[in-house]
């Protein structure tokens, strides 16, 4: 039923919902919606090994304050959206919570067991679910972000012996998960551990999906008629995260080396051999005002908006990326930071470790939000990324427009000014006020790539008569706008998507006049990132 794709598969981009009501032009909330079919557009913010196909089914529960309106209703996919004969209720002002899961079962599942033999297909072992609250009856399809509830293990093999690799087995894993009401999964500790035979995704790539759990896995490779094994350190596997196990196969044994490359799912860190060192991926100390992420220490502060913010730009390099230093690399995802050239006449790239530490890297929005460049193809996908963790550490997220206006007060039209924001000076967000409380923000430049038709970017941030870079466009997670290849024609395809981000400006006579307001940032522009704690 599913088509299996390779480990480095791209993010699934599902079609945007049909904007035409099915029954006349009744406004949302009208009692005429009693005839409107409840439809679901699936949105994936992370890649999966399976794509929904015609005939696939989800189970949907619709809950209202007065009770359940529908329980485990089977909705079927038609290539665009899920639907059935289920109609919306007539009370258009009464919100509901929609809870959906895949694959469909005859009863709402309270547990889920992965296949112990996944060598043929992963299709039946990937449990996916979505929850969306405060949904009103609508003639449009409801966009729901589906998330992985299990963990993925990817085994990458360096075959020094030249053997034909017959199988990879991951031993000692609990295959059964207990599911709560929102389908969050935890390993059923009463279930018996099992050996999971992985799916062969390539000549040297094997993949398995397992319930989240704390486990010391034994990896076994079968080749040339013999089985070679090595035990890994105990590790905690989290829902929605991918863990890489790098294996070296020699003639007489296997060797497991450090891992943790991001490919498709959120990075879950390293799984190491039992005798290997432990690498701390993330540690925070709120009282002392710092966290360490990927072995880099960052200052953080609780600002007067009541939220913890990074007081440095992120300098995290996702696995598989090399910071671009060429303006024609318009889909590079990550660019090196900028500095003024020797005579101060123009901006230029730099790979200086000191500048990386002080200014951070420049990220295109899709990468900052945890995707790959080219993954975003619809407004529905962009809207679903509000508050996404992206490449921020666990428990932190890419700023939303509410975070921005709650901090600095002012943003571009149509966002209303929040005059009560602690760093709004009556006219603008004030860098002087922010930095007096330790925010330590400056303009460090950006790479301007205005839409996805551009073949080269330009340097942003150099203004004559100043001895420093004077602007930046920083990454955010709240959808702000769209343009299509043919103006106003959604079917012509997306030309540009915008997100709300921060824009520090230091092109004033005195530091007291420097501003930091919210702005719209095109998704191909590369800019710095500050994360906010959840």
Alpha helix segments (H runs only) across 360-400 = 365-368, 379-383
Phi, psi of 465, deg, nearest 5:
80, 10
Q: Measured between alpha carbons, how far is 378 from 382 in angstroms, rounded to an integer?
A: 7
Contact 411, 405 (CB under 8 A): yes
Q: Give the pLDDT of residue 185.
A: 95
User: Tokens in use for 324?
Assistant: 């671009």
* Domains 31-148 and 151-270 are alike in CATH topology: yes
Contact 447, 526 (CB under 8 A): yes
Q: Is the peptide bond before 103 cis (omega within 30 degrees of 0)?
A: yes
Q: Give the pLDDT of residue 1.
A: 35
Q: Measured between alpha carbons, how far is 393 from 403 in angstroms, rounded to an integer?
A: 17
User: Tokens in use for 512?
Assistant: 């007291």
User: Tokens in use for 380?
Assistant: 């529905």
Fold of 151-270: Immunoglobulin-like (2.60.40)
Looking at 103-175, which runs of residues are DSSP E strands? Answer: 111-113, 128-135, 142-148, 151-159, 165-173
Q: Give the pLDDT of residue 208.
A: 95
Q: Measured between alpha carbons, how far is 278 from 258 in angstroms, rounded to an integer?
A: 9
Q: Give the pLDDT of residue 162.
A: 82
Sign of CA dihedral 503, 508, 510, 512: negative
Predicted structure pTM score: 0.52
The Cβ of residue 392 has, within 10 Å, a number of other Cβ atoms equal to: 26
Q: Provide the residue ranges of all domains of the chain, joining segments of one domain with +.
A: 31-148, 151-270, 316-533
3-state secondary structure of 64: strand
User: Tokens in use for 87?
Assistant: 């109609």
Task: Classify domain 31-148 by CATH architecture.
Answer: Sandwich (2.60)
Q: 307, exposed or middle or buried, with CB in 10 Å at 0-12, 13-18, 19+?
A: middle
> CA 235, 237, 240: angle at the middle one, nearest 5?
155
Where b means 16+ CB within 10 Å and e means fewer, 479-496 reads bbeeeeeeeeeeeeebbb
CA-CA-CA-CA torsion for 507, 508, 510, 511, nearest 10 degrees?
Answer: -50
- How many helices (H) does the chain have, and how many strands (E)? 5, 38
Q: Measured between alpha carbons, how far is 324 from 370 in angstroms, rounded to an integer?
A: 18
Q: Measured between alpha carbons, how far is 500 from 387 in angstroms, rounded to an integer?
A: 11
For the chain, which ranges sit under pLDDT 50?
1-32, 45-49, 257-264, 269-270, 272-280
Q: Give the pLDDT of residue 245.
A: 86
């Amino acid at each position: 039923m599913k088509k299996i794709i390779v480990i480095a598969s791209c993010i699934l981009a599902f079609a945007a919902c049909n904007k035409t009501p099915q029954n006349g032009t009744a406004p949302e909330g009208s009692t005429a919606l009693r005839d409107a079919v409840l439809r679901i557009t699936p949105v994936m913010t992370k890649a999966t090994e399976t794509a929904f196909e015609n005939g696939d089914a989800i189970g949907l529960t619709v809950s209202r304050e007065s009770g359940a309106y529908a329980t485990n209703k089977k909705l079927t996919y038609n290539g665009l959206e899920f639907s059935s004969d289920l109609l919306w209720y007539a009370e258009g002002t009464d919100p509901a919570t929609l809870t959906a899961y895949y694959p469909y079962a005859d009863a709402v599942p309270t547990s889920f067991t992965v296949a112990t033999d996944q060598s043929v297909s992963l299709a039946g072992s990937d449990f996916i679910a979505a929850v969306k609250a405060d949904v009103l009856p609508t003639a449009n399809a409801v966009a729901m972000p589906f998330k992985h509830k299990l963990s993925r293990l990817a085994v990458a093999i360096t075959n020094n012996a030249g053997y034909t690799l017959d199988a990879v087995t991951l031993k000692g894993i609990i295959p059964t998960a207990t599911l709560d009401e929102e389908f969050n999964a935890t390993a059923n500790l009463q279930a018996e551990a099992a050996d999971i035979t992985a799916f062969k995704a390539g000549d040297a790539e094997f993949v398995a999906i397992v319930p989240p759990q704390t486990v010391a896995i034994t990896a076994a490779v079968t080749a040339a008629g013999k089985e070679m094994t090595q035990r890994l350190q105990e590790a905690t596997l989290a829902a929605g995260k991918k863990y890489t196990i790098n294996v070296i196969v020699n003639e007489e044994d296997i060797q497991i080396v450090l891992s943790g490359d991001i490919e498709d799912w959120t990075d879950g860190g390293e799984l190491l051999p039992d005798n290997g060192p432990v690498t701390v991926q993330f540690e925070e100390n709120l009282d002392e005002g710092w966290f360490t992420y990927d072995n880099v220490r960052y200052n953080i502060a609780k600002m007067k908006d009541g939220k913890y913010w990074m007081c440095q730009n992120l300098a995290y390099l996702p696995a598989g990326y090399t910071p671009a230093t060429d303006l024609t690399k318009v889909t590079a995802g990550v660019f090196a930071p900028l500095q003024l050239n020797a005579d101060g006449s123009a901006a230029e790239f730099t790979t200086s470790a000191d500048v990386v530490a002080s200014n951070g890297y420049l990220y295109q929005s899709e990468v900052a939000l945890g995707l790959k460049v080219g993954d975003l193809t619809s407004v529905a996908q962009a809207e679903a990324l509000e508050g996404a963790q992206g490449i921020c550490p666990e428990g932190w997220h890419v700023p939303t427009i509410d975070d921005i206006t709650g901090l600095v007060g002012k943003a571009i039209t149509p966002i209303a000014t929040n005059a009560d924001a602690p760093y709004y000076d009556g006219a603008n967000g004030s860098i002087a006020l922010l930095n007096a409380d330790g925010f330590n923000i400056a303009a460090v430049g950006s790479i301007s790539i205005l839409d996805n038709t551009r073949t080269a970017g330009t340097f942003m941030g150099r203004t004559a008569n100043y001895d420093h870079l004077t602007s930046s466009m920083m990454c955010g997670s709240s959808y702000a706008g769209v343009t299509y290849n043919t103006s106003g024609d959604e079917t012509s395809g997306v030309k540009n998507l915008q997100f709300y981000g921060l824009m520090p400006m230091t092109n004033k006579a005195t530091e007291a006049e420097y501003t930091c307001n919210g702005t719209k940032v095109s998704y191909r522009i590369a800019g710095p990132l500050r994360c906010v704690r959840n």
